[in-house]
Structures are given as C-alpha cells and as structure tokens.
C-alpha cells in the first residue's frame, strides 16, 4: 500500500560555540537534524524506499522567501524531504556522471510522487496544487547547478539536500 509507514522521528543537532568568556555553549544548529528511526515510503509500484536511522537531513532546502508560497523545510513535506535527501546524498558519492544524474533524477521524481501522495491523502496539510511543480522545478535546478559546479571543478554545496 502506497504511503509512509511511520512519521519521521528527528533529533535536532547542536553545535559547540564559546562566548566572550570562553565558556562552552551548546547552540541549536537550526539547519540539520538526525533521523532517529528508519523512515520508509512505499511508492505507487509497491517498491519500498527507506532512509536509515542516523542520516543527517536539512529538511527541505526551500529558501525562506518561498516558505509562504511553498512550505517550510521542517513542516508539511518533511518525510518526503528526508527520503529525497537520502537519495541525493547517495548520488553525490557516485563518480560516474551518467549514473549519478540518473539517480538524482529518480530521486526528484520520487519527491514529486511523495508530494502528490501527501497532498491527496493528507488534505489537512494544505499543500497547494502548484507546490508540486514548484518543488520539482527547484530540485531539478539544484541538480543541474550541482552538476555544472562539479564539471568546472568548483566546490559544490555538500549540505544534505
């Protein structure tokens, strides 16, 4: 049966910093969280996709100026964002460009499917009809940008998106 088996359970990460008196402070990172339990989604073809416990995610890499138009990174579409992050992180480690791009494209299509499922099955979430297209366009542009930077030998964003 299509859908998520559980809700994601996350532990938000903290970073160590020091104040003016050089006393250690544990500060909320605000951008990253660790998945505490496996998160599984069954797609429309019956295949299971699992993000393992221990992976680091930044939720959705949605710029703040789009949060009102699309959604915030740690709210409505969080389970979909986590699985997308897992596949994107895996794709970054693949040296073969053709295989890497294919995996990233599959991850982006899966994200679009998960967004559609959440919109259809969880209407109380209130995902706008246009959000699926905006999110898909955003992740495809992100994938293209990462490949261009890789091609020119530039340092590309290694955040977990």
Structure tokens belonging to residue 54: 């221990």
Is the distance from CB of 59 to CB of 81 less than 8 angstroms?
yes
What digits encode the pLDDT tens for the residues 69-110? 666 555 778 899 999 999 999 998 888 889 999 999 999 999
pLDDT score at 111: 92
pTM of the model: 0.78
Structure tokens belonging to residue 65: 């100026």
DSSP 74: T
**How many H helices and E strands in the chain?**
3, 6
Q: Mean pLDDT, the chain, as a whole number? A: 81
**Domain assignments of the chain as residue spans, ordered by start:** 3-151
Backbone angles phi, psi at 119, to 5 degrees: -65, -40
pLDDT score at 32: 81
């Amino acid at each position: 049966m299509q859908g998520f088996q559980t809700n994601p359970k996350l532990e938000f990460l903290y970073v160590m910093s020091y104040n003016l008196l050089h006393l250690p402070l544990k500060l909320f990172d605000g951008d990253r969280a660790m998945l505490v339990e496996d998160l599984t989604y069954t797609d429309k073809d019956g295949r299971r996709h699992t993000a393992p416990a221990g992976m680091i995610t930044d939720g959705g890499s949605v710029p703040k100026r789009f949060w009102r138009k699309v959604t915030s990174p740690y709210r409505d579409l969080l389970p979909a964002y986590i699985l997308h992050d897992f596949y994107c992180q895996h794709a970054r480690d693949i040296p073969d460009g053709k295989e890497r791009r294919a995996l990233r494209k599959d991850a982006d299509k899966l994200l679009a499917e998960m967004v559609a499922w959440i919109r259809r099955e969880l209407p109380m979430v209130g995902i706008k009809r246009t959000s699926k297209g905006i999110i898909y366009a955003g992740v495809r542009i992100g994938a293209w940008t990462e490949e261009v930077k890789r091609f020119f030998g530039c340092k590309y964003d290694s955040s977990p998106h």
